[in-house]
Structure 1
Amino acid sequence: MRITWLEMKKALLSPVIMILLLLMLAFNMFSIISSSHHKEELKVVNEIVAAYGPTFDDEVLKTMESDIQKQVKHFDVGDTATFLESMTYEQYEQASVSVQKQIDEISSKFTYLQVAKGLQGSYEAINLSEEKGSFFQTYSLPSWLEGKMAAEFDGWESRFDEIIATNEYKQWFFLSDYRMHSELFRSLMKTLAVEGILLVVLLTAFIMNYEFEHRTQLVIYPTKKGRKLLLNKGLASILSSFIVLAILFGGTLGTYFIVYDYSAVWHVSVSSGFNWEYRLPYITWWDLSVGQYFGLVLGILIAILIIVIMLTITISVFVKNSYYTWIIGVFFLMAMFIVPSYFSNGVILWLASFNISLLLMNPHQYFNGGSTFMMTQYHEVWTLFIWFAIASFGVCSAIRYFNRKDVV
C-alpha cells in the first residue's frame, strides 16, 4: 500500500494537474453564480410544496386558486387574471418593495396554477404512435431489429399510459421555462463529465509513464517488484482520480445546491409535467425521483470515468508518453461521439449507440424513453457492461504485453 501511496503522490503533487483542477473548479463556480439571477423566483416551488404537498389534483388546485384570490383581494381588484393583466410596469415600479414581492408571488403562483390546470389536456394530446411511425420511416432495419425496436416502443407507450393513469406527472417541480433539469444534468453534469475525463486521462497517463519519462525504467522495472508495479500504478490511478473528482464534483455541486434550493423537489418524479422542456415530456422507464435520478447519473458518470482510466492504462503501456497518451485518449473519445453521426445504416447506428461518449454527453436523457436507439430500456446498463468488458480485456492484454516486452 505504501508503494501505491507513493505513486498517488506523483500525480496529486503535480503542478499541472493541481492548477488544471483549480481552474476547472473556479470556472464552474463562477458560471453557476453568474447565471443565478432567477434563483429567488425558483423558491416559490418550496412554498407551494410546503402549502399543498408534492402532488396536486383538482381539489388542491381549487384550494390554491382560492388562496391566490384571497391575496388579490387586498388590492381591491377583480380576479387574479384581471389583476395581473392590468398591472403595468409603471404601477409596479411605483409600489413599495413589500408590495412588489406580493405581486411577484401572486404572479408566480398563478403561473404554476395555470400550467398545472393545462397539463392533463397536454398529456392526453400526445400520440406516441406517431413517434413510432416516424422512427421506422427514418431507418431501414432488418426484421429482427425492427421487431426489437417495435417492442421497445410498445413498452414506452405502456409506461406513458401508466404515468397518466397514476397521475405521476401531477407533481410540482420548477417551471419548465427555467429548464432546471437541463441546467443540472445537460449543462452542469456534462461539463463535470468532460472535465473529469480531461483530468483522469492526464493523471493516469502521468502515473503510468512516470518512469519512462524520467529515464528510470531500467532501474525500476528489472527489480523483483518491477513488473508487478503496474498493478500498484493502476490502483493509484483509480484512487488518485477519486480524490481529484471528489474535489471537482463536490465543490461544483455544493455551490450549485447552495445557489438553487432543491429541498422540496428531491422526492418529485423526473416525469413531472412541470419538467416538460422540449417537444415531448420526460417519460422515464421507471418512476424515478429527482434524488434517485441524480444518484444514478452520478454513479454512471463515475463508472464511465473508471472505464476511461482502464482504457488509458491500456494506451499508456503501448505509448509510454503522458502527453501522447492524453491526446490519443481524448481524440478516441471524441471520435466515438462524432463518427456515428456519419452513418445512416440502422444496424450500424444501433451498434454505435452502445457508446460511452454518447452516454457521457447525454446525462439528461438517462433512463428516458424516446425515438432514438440510445433511449431504449436498459441501454445504460448494456453500454457500461460492454465497455467494462472491452476495457478489462485491454488492461489484461496490456499487462501481458508489458510482462513480456523489454523495458527499454
Structure 2
Amino acid sequence: MITRMELKKIFSSPIVMALLLLFTAFNLYLIYVNAPKSEDVEKINEVIDEFGSLMDKNGRYLLKDSYEIGLESWNARNGKEFKSASEFFRAENYYPAIDSGEILDEELEKMVDLNVKESILLTAEGLVMQYQKWDLLKNAEVQIELFGIEGDAAETVREQYKSLIPRLKEIKGNQEHLHIFLPGKIFRTHSLLFNTLFGVILFQIMLLVVVFTAFLTNYEFDQGSHLVAFSTKRGRGLMWDKLLAALSATGMVTAFILLAAFGTYFVAVDYSRLWHLPISTGFMIEPDGNPFISWWDLSFIQYFWLGILIIFVLQVLFTLITFVLSLWMKNSYVVFIVFAILFGLGLLVPGEMPKDSVLSLYTTFNPSSLVLGSKKWWMESGAFTTFKYYEIITVCVWVTGFILAGWFSMKKFHTRNL
C-alpha cells in the first residue's frame, strides 16, 4: 500500500510525465528521419527469400547467374547494352532515359532489383578479400599509436586483441561475415539502433530515474514534513518503500520508452528475415570500414536483447546511486548536480590517467564509459574497452558496490539525527 502511494507521487508529477512524453516523441522523430525506407528493406528481403542469406561461393554463383540472365533479358527488351545495372544509374544514362519516358516504370523497377543484386554481389566479393587481409594486431597498433598508449597499458591492449584472433578465425570459418544484411555503408542501421537510439534512450531514462528517485527519496525533506513522517510506526523504514517504488518506476519507465521506440522501429522496418543472422556480418560494416567482431557467435536478436538487458541493469544502478546520494544529501537539486558531476568524472578520469599505466584502461570500467560505448557492447570496441567481459564486470562490480553502499547508508540513516 505504501509503495503504491509512493509510486503515485512519481506518476502524478507533471515534470516526470512531461519528460516521458517529450522523450517518446523525440525518439519517434529520430526513427522517422533515420530509419531505412520499407521498400529498400523489402528489396533485401526478396533476395534473402530467393537465394538465402549466406553469400558463400555457391550463394554468390547462384545470385550472379540470376543477375546476368536478368540483365541480358532487360537489355534485350529495352534495346540497351548496359554491362552492369549500376551503369544504367549513372547520371548521364539515368536522367535522359527517365526524362524521355523510354523506360517504363515496371522496367525501371526490374533494373532496381538488378542493382540490388549487383550491390550484394560486389559487397560479398569485397568482404572475402577484406577479411582475408584483416589483421587485428595491426589494428591494435593503430589504436595504440592513435591514443599514445605506452608501456604496460600498450601490452594489455595487444593481449586483448590477441585474444580476439580465435574469434575472427571462427567468423571466417563459419562465414558469419558473408550473411546478407541491410548494407551499413548505405543505411548505417547498427549505428542508428545501438548508438543513436540506445545512446539517446540511455540518457533519457537516466535523467528520468535520477529526477524521480531524488524527488521521491527526499520528498519529506523538501516539503519540511520529515520530522512527522519518520516518527510514525513505519518510521525510517519508509525509505525501503521508497526504494522499492523507485525501482518499480524505473522498470516501468524503461519498458515504456523502449517499447515505444523499438516497437515503432520494427513495425516500420521489416526485420523478419534478419533476426537470426549473425551480428558480425560484414554487410553491416559502415563507412569507417571497421568490421563488427563480437566476442561470441550472436545473432542480431540475441545481441539486441543483451543490449536491452544492459539498459535495464544500468537504470537499476542509476536508481541505487541516486538513492544512496539522497540518503546523505537530503536535497533533490543537490543530488541531481552531484550525480551529473560523478557521471562526468567517469568520462574524464580515464583520460587523465598516465598513458603507460593500465589504470588508463581499467578506469573505463565505469557506468559512464559503458553508456557511451553502447554501439559496440559485446564486441571489439577500441583500445580502452576491448575486454571480453567488460560489460559483465562493469555492471556486476558497480551494482554490487551500490547495493552494499545502500545497505550501509540505510544503517546510518536509521541511527543519525534528521
Which one-letter code corresponds to 2:225 in the other structure? Answer: T
Q: Which range is displaced more, 14-23 or 245-254?
A: 245-254
Q: Which residue of 2 aligns with 1:305?
A: 315
Q: Which residue of 2 aligns with 1:374?
A: 385
Q: Which residue of 1 aligns with 2:84?
A: 80
Q: Quick check: 1:274 aligned with 2:286?
A: no
1:87 match: secondary structure: helix
> 2:18 & 2:238 partners in 1: Cα distance?
28
Q: Which residue of 1 aligns with 2:371?
A: 360
1:32 match: secondary structure: helix
> 1:361 & 1:90 partners in 2: Cα distance?
48
> 1:404 & 1:14 partners in 2: Cα distance?
31
Match of 1:92 among 98, 116, 132: 98
Alpha-carbon distance, 1:148 to partner: 4.9
Q: Which residue of 1 aligns with 2:296?
A: 286
Which one-letter code corresponds to 1:260 in the other structure? Answer: V
1:163 match: secondary structure: helix
Per-residue deviation, residues 275-308 of structure 1 (Å, max 9, x unmatched): 1122320111111111000000110111111011
In the alignment, is the contact (CA less than 8 A) between 1:171 and 1:272 conserved in 2?
Answer: yes
Per-residue deviation, residues 72-130 of structure 1 (Å, max 9, x unmatched): 21342444355555732221353343333222222122111111122111111212221
Per-residue deviation, residues 2-60 of structure 1 (Å, max 9, x unmatched): 11111111001111100010011011112211334644223222111111112121221
**Residues 97, 324 of structure 1: alpha-carbon distance in 2 compared, 3 angstrom cutoff:** farther
Which one-letter code corresponds to 2:197 in the other structure? Answer: L
- Sequence identity of aligned pairs in percent? 27
Alpha-carbon distance, 1:312 to partner: 0.2
**Residues 20, 150 of structure 1: alpha-carbon distance in 2 compared, 3 angstrom cutoff:** same
In the alignment, is the contact (CA less than 8 A) between 2:350 and 2:361 conserved in 1?
Answer: no
> 2:143 & 2:75 partners in 1: Cα distance?
53
Alpha-carbon distance, 1:67 to partner: 1.7
Q: Quick check: 1:248 aligned with 2:254?
A: no
> 1:80 & 1:335 partners in 2: Cα distance?
55
Which one-letter code corresponds to 1:74 in the other structure? Answer: W
Q: How does 1:190-209 map to 2 (within 5 A)?
A: 190-209=199-218
In the alignment, is the contact (CA less than 8 A) between 2:379 and 2:386 conserved in 1?
Answer: yes
Q: Which range is displaced more, 80-89 or 11-20?
A: 80-89
Alpha-carbon distance, 1:170 to partner: 1.2
In the alignment, is the contact (CA less than 8 A) between 2:214 and 2:323 conserved in 1?
Answer: yes
**Residues 80, 150 of structure 1: alpha-carbon distance in 2 compared, 3 angstrom cutoff:** closer
Q: Which residue of 1 aligns with 2:273?
A: 264
> 2:35 & 2:293 partners in 1: Cα distance?
28
Alpha-carbon distance, 1:389 to partner: 2.2
* Unpaired runs of at least 5, structure 2: none
> 2:380 & 2:215 partners in 1: Cα distance?
40
Q: Which range is displaced more, 290-299 or 107-116?
A: 107-116
In the alignment, is the contact (CA less than 8 A) between 1:45 and 1:264 conserved in 2?
Answer: no
Q: Quick check: 1:130 aligned with 2:138?
A: yes
Q: Quick check: 1:230 aligned with 2:218?
A: no
Which one-letter code corresponds to 1:406 in the other structure? Answer: N
Alpha-carbon distance, 1:341 to partner: 2.4
Q: Which range is displaced more, 179-188 or 393-402?
A: 393-402
Q: Which residue of 1 aligns with 2:27?
A: 28
2:179 match: secondary structure: coil
Q: Which residue of 1 aligns with 2:151?
A: 141
**Residues 98, 135 of structure 1: alpha-carbon distance in 2 compared, 3 angstrom cutoff:** closer
**Residues 151, 36 of structure 1: alpha-carbon distance in 2 compared, 3 angstrom cutoff:** closer
Q: Which residue of 2 aligns with 1:58?
A: 57
In the alignment, is the contact (CA less than 8 A) between 1:365 and 1:375 conserved in 2?
Answer: no
Q: Which residue of 1 aligns with 2:159?
A: 151
In the alignment, is the contact (CA less than 8 A) between 1:68 and 1:80 conserved in 2?
Answer: no
Q: Which residue of 2 aligns with 1:385?
A: 396
* Unpaired runs of at least 5, structure 1: none
Which one-letter code corresponds to 1:88 in the other structure? Answer: Y
Alpha-carbon distance, 1:238 to partner: 0.4
> 1:190 & 1:372 partners in 2: Cα distance?
20
> 2:296 & 2:341 partners in 1: Cα distance?
35
**Residues 323, 26 of structure 1: alpha-carbon distance in 2 compared, 3 angstrom cutoff:** same
Q: How does 1:154-165 map to 2 (within 5 A)?
A: 154-165=162-173
Which one-letter code corresponds to 1:382 in the other structure? Answer: I
Q: What's the TM-score, normalizing by structure 2? A: 0.91
1:375 match: secondary structure: coil
**Residues 37, 136 of structure 1: alpha-carbon distance in 2 compared, 3 angstrom cutoff:** closer
Alpha-carbon distance, 1:134 to partner: 4.2
Which one-letter code corresponds to 1:206 in the other structure? Answer: F
Which one-letter code corresponds to 2:295 in the other structure? Answer: W
Alpha-carbon distance, 1:164 to partner: 1.2
Aligned length: 404
In the alignment, is the contact (CA less than 8 A) between 1:267 and 1:291 conserved in 2?
Answer: yes
Q: Which residue of 1 aligns with 2:348?
A: 338
Q: Which residue of 1 aligns with 2:327?
A: 317
**Residues 371, 186 of structure 1: alpha-carbon distance in 2 compared, 3 angstrom cutoff:** closer
**Residues 62, 101 of structure 1: alpha-carbon distance in 2 compared, 3 angstrom cutoff:** same
Q: Which range is displaced more, 181-190 or 325-334?
A: 325-334
